[in-house]
Structure 1
Amino acid sequence: MNRSTYAAGTSGSVARAAAPFVPLALLATTGALLAYLWKWPCRFNGAWNDGTQQFLNFCYTDIYPLWWNEKLDQGLAPYFGHPVEYPVGIGALMWMIQRIVGGLNDPGVWFYDLTVLLMAVSLVVGVVIMAKLALLQRRPWDAAWYALAPALILTAFINWDLLCGVLALGAFLAWSRQKHFLAGVLLGLAVATKFYPVVFLGPLFLLALRTRKFPAFLYAVGGMVITWVVVNLPYMLLAFQGWKRFYVFSSERGADWGSVWFFFQSKQWPYLGDSAKVDTLGIASFGLMCVAIAVLALTARTRPRLMQLCFLVLAAFMMTNKVWSPQYVLWLVPFAVLARPNWKPLVLWQIAECAYFFAIWLYLVHLQPGNEMLGIGDTAYFATVWGRVLAIAILAAFVVRDILWPEHDVIRQGGVDDPIGGVFDGAPDHFALRLDRPAARDEAPAAPA
């Protein structure tokens, strides 16, 4: 083969390999644009300054009011000049954008626009990373769910969650390529941005326990801890009171919108509705779910896939948390799709999330004196709260079924094990809790009937 022929063949291979990513990036850009246009009534018509219209137009965001609530309008630096209720990854981003827009006309709107631009980039990069992960499962187009999921379009720019999402997905891409320390670094950055990715250590530990791949797990933990400390330590040393605000606020806040604990308190249920016990109840219920997931992971005949366990533990965290904001759906979309890319339960879940999105704003209108007839009451609102709990529980039940009977798992057809699992993929089992004969690791799952 001459050089020109080789170059042409190589170029063609590269083009074919990149084929899914370009259109998926365009789909993600479309999703970001649609999400921005969804906020149009607030962004361009001033509804953010009206406590009723921003809810009736369904275009509320945390980003715009925090320009004032976090004293960014006064030029105060996050943590140093004013305590901030977010981890330092978000606070640092606030400070960076504050430096850029501080002297502009209408800086609050500019603060929103630049923040949204960075979140849009995070979405596009996150979709491409998810496509790379899904490609390992031979289904790259599954990433279109993350690009254009209806609930994503509705909630994308409420807060900074997409930034954490791209870091978490990047961590698992690094893990799949057996770059364990880098995976830990990215996971540490994610935890420094939104705390929830710390729960992913559980699935990694359980699978490391079954396969004895502890060096990989410890490298990742080391990278995460070192990164988190490096990022947080300057704030801890120089602005401790401002830095600790996030952790104090998280521990002191009560049950909030969307959580089942808010329902129990609103209905004054005995014990479950006791506001003094909400932290204990939340931690205990999450702990019980984690024990159940651990038992499942260690007793299943065929070792669960990494994405299956990540979805289950994140779903458990969300369902038992004392706060469940509408935008938390962004946390779960990539992992739900990578865990079980079957469209029917995903559509059901998206419908439930969208129903809750509209219900929460109408409920907040209803609670305003004089606006009772404009919104919805307790019955309709709490129906949507339990609707999304049920939808996620159904999705989780299907994932558990796939773990117990892997012949139902579309990813495992043809003898595939755990393509995103990195060192876990195809590894022999060394530890499991079961009474019956263990399934051989080289035994291909039976094809579905």
Structure 2
Amino acid sequence: MRTEARVRAGTMAAVVTACLFALVVAYLGKARCAGPPFAPDGRSLIFDRIKDSDVCYSDIQLLWLGRGLDLHLPPYSGGITPAGLLVPGTVEYPVLSGSLMWLGALGAHTDATFLLHSALLLAPFGLLTAWLLGRLAGRAALLWAASPPLLLYAFHNWELPVVAVAVAAIAVVTSRRWSVRTRGVLAAVLLGIGFCLKLYPGLFVLPLALFVLTAGGVRDRRDVRGALAVLGSAAATVVAINVPFAVADAAGWRASFTFQQQRQADITSNSIWYWGLRPLMGGGIRGSDAYHQVVGVVSPMLLCAALGLALWWGWKEFERRDVYPWIGVSGAMLCAFMLLHKVHSPQYTLWLLPFLVLQRVPWGLVGAYLAADLAVGIGIFRWFDALTRSGDTTTELVVRLGVWSQAALLLVFFCLLVRAPLRRAPAPPLPPKVTVPGRASDAHTRDLYAAAGTVRRPEPGPLE
């Protein structure tokens, strides 16, 4: 046991250390675009010159201007124009991300300082994610801590807090300390917080509620009150966090949602819609009005259908093995969102990585996805640079290859994740003698394995 504990401690130390090193390198990579000389508004003069060619662009540095961060305006104190442009004081992200942006801007008078402050705010969340994944999946957590996406996107946008919260919710449910209902409610609160950071963790509330409804895998038991408590806790958390901002400035708070609703699948979207549907409907590099209207209707319809399919597929798995695979269903729903939403930003890969760490997805497929991600994450900026300089089409072909490779692999992951077990179950091995499945004396053991998604439908016992 002591040897096992030392190995586990060594693994955890390696994962966290690798993550810390990656975060430092990630910051230095983005900081190449920041520094003196500065314009009077605090913008690094080098930023516009090399951000695409040297692949050091970040949304953090870009949004220093145009959102009131350089003026230190309170978050969500602006609005949106009829043309869809945000008024300084409003950002396009949910309120907790906007608050982090405002905190990063405190005391900053240049985009370089803002980038540094933001990196210091975000880095602990990246380390927390590494630590949690190390506890849940062991050495597989190095996929998070030492892979190219963390180097490219750790400080590209404000993704690290929302990933940490989503992983923390999974860690809570797979713990052994409380009942299924209590763990479900606590995880729902975390997912509600995640929704107020970047929205996507809100997708995971429904599969979590179904997991609690089925009592975490206890046969022939339905916890309706628990499922309702999960839904209510997530909703109450979102309301409690948003109400102060909505009361303080309703127009500024509402503007962030309006902006996202009006956002188009344009050249910055990296989505299958831009690369697939736009060329068919004309309109050049910007896309026609008809194209944007079709995407605005078809994208949410297909997305809702895919989310429903994932939930239904999870229920069929529950009927087969008495366990609702909420982690796998959540991962499949995320894949559907990344594939079918009108915008697919490169940093969304950070959202997906924890599911590839936690679940037994073939490493060859994971490697292929990382290669496609590199093609998009690097190629898209080199293509932007080529558009303004040489007009070279080679980088465009690289981006196309990356986009369609990612799309194909997201479809594969959608099919795999619902049924994939965890790489390492959080529960100890099954004891040699187990009482009748489904009875109170066996509920705790079954619950631990249910959280891991490893329970199969038991054969009828002699007393059933």
Name the TM tier (shorter chain): 0.7 to 0.9
Q: Counterpart amino acid of 1:151?
A: P
CA distance in 2, matches of 1:311, 1:229: 25
1:65 Cα deviation after fit: 2.0
Change in Cα spacing, 1:186 to 1:205, as seen in structure 2 (3 Å) is closer
Change in Cα spacing, 1:13 to 1:415, as seen in structure 2 (3 Å) is closer
In structure 2, the partner of 1:338 is: 358
1:120 Cα deviation after fit: 1.5
The superposition leaves residues 102-142 of structure 1 with CA deviations (integer Å, 9 ceiling, x where unpaired) of 5xxxx3211110111222211101111122222xxxxx111
Out of 152, 155, 160, which is 1:154 matched to? Answer: 152
Tell me, what secondary structure is at the counterpart of 2:73?
A: coil
1:241 Cα deviation after fit: 0.9
Q: Residues 265 and 273 of structure 1 are in contact (CA less than 8 Å); yes or no, is this contact kept in structure 2?
A: no
Alignment of 1:38-437 (within 5 A): 38-44=29-35, 49-80=46-77, 82-102=89-109, 107-134=110-137, 140-177=138-175, 178=178, 179-211=183-215, 212-256=222-266, 257-269=269-281, 274-300=291-317, 301-302=320-321, 303=323, 305-368=325-388, 370-373=389-392, 376=394, 378-399=396-417, 402=419, 425-426=448-449
Q: What TM-score do the two structures reach when normalised by structure 1?
A: 0.81
Tell me, what secondary structure is at the counterpart of 1:287?
A: helix
2:19 pairs with 1:28: yes
Tell me, what secondary structure is at the counterpart of 2:52?
A: helix
Q: Counterpart amino acid of 2:163?
A: G
Change in Cα spacing, 1:15 to 1:100, as seen in structure 2 (3 Å) is farther
The superposition leaves residues 379-423 of structure 1 with CA deviations (integer Å, 9 ceiling, x where unpaired) of 4432221111112223334435x45xx7xx865898799xxx998
1:347 Cα deviation after fit: 0.7
Tell me, what secondary structure is at the counterpart of 2:48?
A: coil
The superposition leaves residues 194-240 of structure 1 with CA deviations (integer Å, 9 ceiling, x where unpaired) of 11111112322343455524444333333322222221111101111
Q: Residues 265 and 275 of structure 1 are in contact (CA less than 8 Å); yes or no, is this contact kept in structure 2?
A: no
The superposition leaves residues 128-157 of structure 1 with CA deviations (integer Å, 9 ceiling, x where unpaired) of 1122222xxxxx111111111212211211
Q: What TM-score do the two structures reach when normalised by structure 2?
A: 0.78
CA distance in 1, matches of 2:95, 2:330: 24
5+ long unaligned stretches in structure 1: 1-8, 135-139, 429-438, 445-449
1:290 Cα deviation after fit: 1.8
The superposition leaves residues 337-375 of structure 1 with CA deviations (integer Å, 9 ceiling, x where unpaired) of 21225321111111111111122112212332x4313x6
Higher helix share: 1
Change in Cα spacing, 1:217 to 1:49, as seen in structure 2 (3 Å) is farther
Aligned length: 406
Between the two proteins, what is the percent identity of the paired residues?
Answer: 26
1:378 Cα deviation after fit: 4.4
Tell me, what secondary structure is at the counterpart of 1:39?
A: helix
CA distance in 2, matches of 1:50, 1:30: 25
Tell me, what secondary structure is at the counterpart of 2:280?
A: coil
Q: Counterpart amino acid of 1:361?
A: F
Q: Counterpart amino acid of 1:266?
A: R
Change in Cα spacing, 1:116 to 1:423, as seen in structure 2 (3 Å) is farther
Tell me, what secondary structure is at the counterpart of 1:274?
A: helix
CA distance in 2, matches of 1:120, 1:57: 23
In structure 1, the partner of 2:434 is: none
Q: Counterpart amino acid of 2:189?
A: V
Q: CA RMSD in A?
A: 3.3
CA distance in 2, matches of 1:305, 1:314: 14
In structure 2, the partner of 1:137 is: none
Change in Cα spacing, 1:286 to 1:75, as seen in structure 2 (3 Å) is same
Change in Cα spacing, 1:307 to 1:45, as seen in structure 2 (3 Å) is farther
